[in-house]
Amino acid sequence: MADPPTGPLAGLLVADFSRVLAGPYATMLLADLGADVVKVEAPAGDDTRAWTPPVRAGISTYYLAVNRNKRSVALDLKDTEDVVLARELAGRADVVIENFRPGGLDRFGLGYDDVAAGNPGVVYASISGFGTTEQGRALPGYDLIVQAMSGLMSLTGAPDTEPFRSGISVFDVMAGMHATIGILAALNARQASGRGQHVEVNLLSSALSGMVNQTSAYVAGGVVPHRMGNSHPSLYPYEPIPCADGELIITSGNNVQFRKLCEVIGAPELADDPRFARNEDRTVNRAELRPLLIERLATRTKMEWFREIIAAGVPCGPINDVDGGVGFATEIGLRPVVEVGEGEAMVPSVRNPITFSGTPVDYRLPPPALDEHGDEIRRWLGGSTHD
């Protein structure tokens, strides 16, 4: 590579047989941290290359979101020579990651058992929709289906609306992060044992874990949660509240914060009212408290209140669109956008959220064109290059 990686995972080789979102997001995180990720694509390319609009210079922004810092090689697993190259890549890799249907790579000699037989140190990560049981392996692993079947959609929306999906493929992203955690843990275990292992993640398990307090309400408390719009089942206030020109999110996480809120809005008596003195009281009596808060907040604009309430130490914030979210992160110095590549190949990208004091994230390569690095990778693996 022209610019060798310098991050904490520099020197690791990742063979990426995944596509769409969960797997590519995981491998981009590894690549950002310095791993050399070889993205193996079918001749038609990753599905997300065709998921448009929107586009940048004719390229899907969906694809661009999760594929920086990788090299691409197109291998046709129906072609005997390409299968040999794929096996050679997996045999050299520290990490193999795939999100085929469970067992889908076995027929090519690329399943965990076959790869580990020749490469016992490999950490082999598999991401599926519903696991590898007889019943689960037959189900298609789409994020929207998991949002529906996990119960998340039953929690999303107002009480009088139909269930809604999240605005992003939240469980694909979550499963990608869980896979990354599993891979790093297995690499650490390899330091002691010298052997790798098979890491398995599925979207449904990631969903049930990631729904945290809502799934705990059921499994530990026997309570089936329901849609509450923007309200919280266990805290109040913790929702948008109207001001003179729009809504402001106010989150009072404890009694001290609520008292400060009451003082800044000019209603200190509310903090001593027995209906509202404790969080559990406020949660039960939210229908009585909400109009009292609205009455006070309606006297000023949301940004006027934002500045005063934040200054008092109570968490709050306006509801932005994505443009506003990126803009606010920029305003407070988080530098959310990085430029990857140079000249016409430069792609604006969202910064990796992790900061290291000694081995910083680097941005070496823009998302690759299909088979952009095919010839160099084929030469390295010992195969013939394309004419």
Give the residue numbers marked as catalytic.
Answer: 172
| DSSP reduced 3-state for 62 | helix
CA angle, residues 210, 140, 147, in degrees to nearest 5: 30
Alpha carbon distance 18, 37 (integer Å): 11
Single out the residue of 13, 11, 180, 193 nearest to residue 92, CA to CA.
Answer: 13
Q: Is 234 exposed, middle or buried (0-12, 13-18, 19+ CB in 10 A)?
A: exposed
| 184: its two tokens | 């790093």
* Residue with the two structure tokens 């209140």: 305
CA dihedral 93, 345, 379, 116 (to 10 degrees): 10
- Number of neighbours of residue 223 by Cβ within 10 angstroms: 12
Beta strands in the chain (DSSP E): 13-17, 36-41, 55-56, 59-60, 70-74, 95-98, 123-128, 198-202, 238-242, 247-251, 316-318, 337-340, 347-350
| 378: its two tokens | 């084929």
How far are the Cα atoms of 24, 127, 137, 141, 350 from residue 132, in angstroms, in the given order? 21, 10, 5, 12, 33
Radius of gyration of the chain (CA): 25
